[in-house]
Chain A
Amino acid sequence: QQQVKQSPQSLIVQKGGISIINCAYENTAFDYFPWYQQFPGKGPALLIAIRPDVSEKKEGRFTISFNKSAKQFSLHIMDSQPGDSATYFCAASNTGTASKLTFGTGTRLQVTL
């Protein structure tokens, strides 16, 4: 049972464009929604995260939009750069000390010149 569904599987965006990755979750007990960025040969690294008490969080060119009623959240990368080319994973968990992070299936982003 996939609790966090992510789309698209891959994405090609021109330099300067907007990259949008979408995720949907099923478990209403989730209350922490991070995005991780992974470069080839490296482990994932936390990019940005949001709690469900806010609808949007922005850090530089990266923005998370959150829709609690629809159980959906998305990552927007503004002014996409070739250095943003990586695989992006959405994830969800609750905030307990024994909570487990459930990941989406990943989106491979390629930003072209």
Chain B
Amino acid sequence: NAGVTQTPKFQVLKTGQSMTLQCAQDMNHEYMSWYRQDPGMGLRLIHYSVGAGITDQGEVPNGYNVSRSTTEDFPLRLLSAAPSQTSVYFCASREGAGNQPQHFGDGTRLSIL
């Protein structure tokens, strides 16, 4: 029973590099989302998706792209990494309604030098 799986767990990038953070869920959830967690700022929503082929911006979308080609996968792309994107990134999924629990992965710790 994997739940939400994020890879990699740790990554160090140089400024200007690109990379994709992977997220997969095996619960057939329609809603998936990406958050970043920074000290003293809680979890802030980057992008979310209510189903395959549908994505939308959250609170802090700049510098990030997403796509949702399947129900299971929701990758997050950094096109040109900046030091301000150093953070811990969490992917989450839930069944449709907003009062359903969100299931989080264990995060990707990303450092941009």
Contact = CB atoms under 8 A, between A and B. Distances in A.
A103 B42 contact: yes
Contacts of A94: 98
Contacts, number: 71
A100 B41 contact: no
Given A49-B99, A93-B98, A101 B45 contact: yes
B51 to A, nearest CB: 9
The main secondary structure of chain A at its interface with chain B is loop
Contact of A46 (B44, B101, B106): B101
A96 B98 CA distance: 5
Most buried by B among A31, A34, A36, A105: A105
Given A41-B106, A43-B107, A105 B98 contact: no
Nearest to A47: B101
Given A43-B4, A44-B102, A100-B48, 20 more contacts: A6-B42, A9-B40, A42-B107, A43-B106, A51-B99, A89-B42, A89-B43, A94-B98, A96-B98, A97-B97, A97-B98, A98-B50, A98-B98, A99-B98, A100-B98, A101-B33, A101-B102, A103-B35, A105-B40, A106-B40
